[in-house]
Amino acid sequence: MTTQCKFCPLNRKDAFVNMSAEEVGFMQKFKVGELTVDPGTPILMQGSNAPQLFTALSGMGIRERHLQNGARQVINFVFPGDFIGLQAGLLGEMGHSVEARTQMRLCVFNRSELWNFFKSHPERSFDVTWLAAMEENFLGESLSSVGQRTAVEAIAWAMVKIFQRGQSLGFVTNNTMDLPFTQRDVADAMGLSLVHTNKTISRLKQQQLASWSDGQLQINSLEALAEIAMTELRPLARRPLI
Amino acid sequence: MTTQCKFCPLNRKDAFVNMSAEEVGFMQKFKVGELTVDPGTPILMQGSNAPQLFTALSGMGIRERHLQNGARQVINFVFPGDFIGLQAGLLGEMGHSVEARTQMRLCVFNRSELWNFFKSHPERSFDVTWLAAMEENFLGESLSSVGQRTAVEAIAWAMVKIFQRGQSLGFVTNNTMDLPFTQRDVADAMGLSLVHTNKTISRLKQQQLASWSDGQLQINSLEALAEIAMTELRPLARRPLI
DNA sequence: CGCTGCATTGATGAGTGTCAAAATTGGTGG
DNA sequence: CCACCAATTTTGACACTCATCAATGCAGCG
């Protein structure tokens, strides 16, 4: 027997909407197991018709999409609480791959149950849709970054977004959090070359705004970064857990 | 009394999943009216908390997002059958604006009814989520275009996507369809400058691949374009109508 | 100890952006 | 029907951000 949902460590974090005991009970039935994967492990493959859906319990990863010429676009970064596989669950095919960047613990659901989900628990299906809308919203912001922001602006924006997400999950102490991603990941996320990304990051470091080395991201002034990124610092909404 | 749903012209197109008479009846109650707007009219505003949701019945438009420095990212193009306002309906705030590019006829729903929707008609709420997942998928593709494709590739990609959508809606005759967008719209969609977009389009015209002038897009070889764009030509899935 | 992957740095050049102006189109009113 | 205006498209010249190439350093690891 895997860990019970009522002991789920995420449900206690205030980044998330708390579930009622009844809801937890229902989710428990929906859950079919737990999966732990090592860094680098592919979790879902672009184009695949995966039978399983996941919620990230711990660890981080990336969503990425490959083009025919080998180019890679990182769609976004995966944090604990993220729901993985919505596209497979609904469309029958993933538009992107998901890959672990740290060791990750995943809560596993059965895709075939998704429909029961909608039928019997409208609140929960509403939550799924809420997450989808949130994702759509975020991708719109990303698109604006890649399309309209300069390299510095884009990287400042990415740092702000990542850092805020980290804060909400309690990953930040002393303005510092662990970042398991490579500079190539960030470069591919912002549509920049690795070299230029590297140079841009060092520029931000010189300006004492943010430093990222040895897998540690330290932000000196989130406000200053947000200013550069032309984005507003707003507290993140509480997310529902699936 | 506005036009009845059972006479909705979209429901007959084979781009869409057909609704049962019972479903149509339910949607009829959900519908609160119809709205016709002129080209250039803003339909929803970024940041607004709109009380109404729409389904485009006819005409085209764009979703766009503005940055603080005035830059604009076109998120995507709106075609008949598209559901507009999901973010407002679920998140309470739009992440982007929607603006008409031709005269548009819109089916108007009341946002406050959305929850009843989920509660009483799981199939329909499933459809809403399906559309959200589809949108997420598309935005991932767009992100890849803006981030990884060159100017020619990106514009070829955009043409393929628009043309395919046009085909599925019956807008194409003689390999030609009406395009009410400006080159600036396309430029802002692909993260390119207006000038470079213009020159790239003329290059495609010289190569006899596609010509776009006088609001008419003519595609000579969709296959060749798709090849350049590094994308596969797959028939579009039937979309549910909301 | 020699891999291999990642970060870092310098040099060079190409793809795109910016600027500016002319050509074209469409709409409006005299 | 013509004159005028605004919006859009088109073209040319030039500048610059950013990509590419290449080499070095550095850490982890079998």
Inter-chain residue contact B132 with A134, CB threshold 8 Å: no
Distance in angstroms between the alpha carbons of the first and the last residue of chain A: 19
Q: Would B236 be classed as within a structural domain?
A: no
Chain centroid to CA A19:
21
- Quick one: A32 and A132 in the same domain? yes
Inter-chain residue contact B69 with A115, CB threshold 8 Å: no
A130: distance to nearest CA of chain B, Å? 6
B182-239 pLDDT per residue, tens:
999 999 999 999 999 999 999 999 999 999 999 999 999 999 999 999 999 999 999 9
| CA pair distance A238, A168, nearest whole angstrom | 9
B51: distance to nearest CA of chain A, Å? 17
| CA pair distance A117, A72, nearest whole angstrom | 34
- Quick one: B66 and B125 in the same domain? yes
- Quick one: A153 and A34 in the same domain? no
Q: Would B125 be classed as within a structural domain?
A: yes
Axis-axis angle for helices A194-206, A151-168 (nearest 10): 70
- Quick one: A211 and A158 in the same domain? yes
* Lateral strand order in the sheet of A104-110: A31-37, A104-110, A52-58, A83-84
Residue B19 domain boundaries: 5-142
Q: According to the model, what pLDDT value does residue A71 have?
A: 97
User: How many domains does chain A fold into?
Assistant: 2
- Quick one: A196 and A224 in the same domain? yes
Inter-chain residue contact A118 with B129, CB threshold 8 Å: yes
Confidence of residue B75 (pLDDT cuts 50, 70, 90): very high
The chain B residue lying nearest A128, using CA atoms, is B129
Q: According to the model, what pLDDT value does residue A30 have?
A: 87
B5-62 pLDDT per residue, tens:
888 889 889 999 998 888 898 889 889 999 999 999 999 999 999 999 999 999 999 9
| Protein residues contacting strand C, judged by Cβ under 7 Å | A 182-184, 194-195, 198-199, 201-202, 213; B 150-152, 191-197, 214
CATH classification of the domain holding A219: 1.10.10.10
Per-residue DSSP letter, A101: S
| Percent of chain B residues topping a pLDDT of 70 | 99
B130: distance to nearest CA of chain A, Å? 6
Inter-chain residue contact B126 with A141, CB threshold 8 Å: no
- Quick one: A109 and A133 in the same domain? yes
Collapsing DSSP states into helix, strand and coil, what is residue B194?
helix
* Final residue belonging to a domain, choices A123, A142, A161: A142
Q: Contact, B163 vs B229, CB < 8 A?
A: no
Q: Would B237 be classed as within a structural domain?
A: no
* Final residue belonging to a domain, choices B142, B175, B197: B142
| CA pair distance A223, B225, nearest whole angstrom | 44
How many residues in chain A?
A: 242
Q: According to the model, what pLDDT value does residue A189 have?
A: 98
- Quick one: A105 and A161 in the same domain? no
Q: Would B114 be classed as within a structural domain?
A: yes
Residue A1 has pLDDT above 60, yes or no: no
CB pairs under 8 A between A and B: 145
Q: Would A94 be classed as within a structural domain?
A: yes
- Quick one: A98 and A160 in the same domain? no
The chain B residue lying nearest A151, using CA atoms, is B147
Set of chain A residues whose Cβ sits within 8 Å of the Cβ of B230? 67-69
- Quick one: B47 and B64 in the same domain? yes
- Quick one: A85 and A109 in the same domain? yes
* Final residue belonging to a domain, choices A122, A142, A162: A142
- Quick one: A49 and A159 in the same domain? no
Q: Would B238 be classed as within a structural domain?
A: no
Nearest to B153 by CA among A150, A69, A196, A146: A69
Q: Would B95 be classed as within a structural domain?
A: yes
The chain B residue lying nearest A186, using CA atoms, is B147
- Quick one: B129 and B165 in the same domain? no
Q: According to the model, what pLDDT value does residue B23 have?
A: 87
CATH classification of the domain holding A82: 2.60.120.10
Q: Would A242 be classed as within a structural domain?
A: no
| Percent of chain A residues topping a pLDDT of 70 | 99
The answer to whether the beta carbon of residue B198 comes closer than 7 angstroms to any atom of strand D is yes
| CA pair distance B145, B73, nearest whole angstrom | 13
**Residue in A69, A91, A115 nearest the CB of B137:** A91
Residue A218: what are its φ and ψ, rounded to 5°? -115, 125
pTM (two decimals)? 0.95
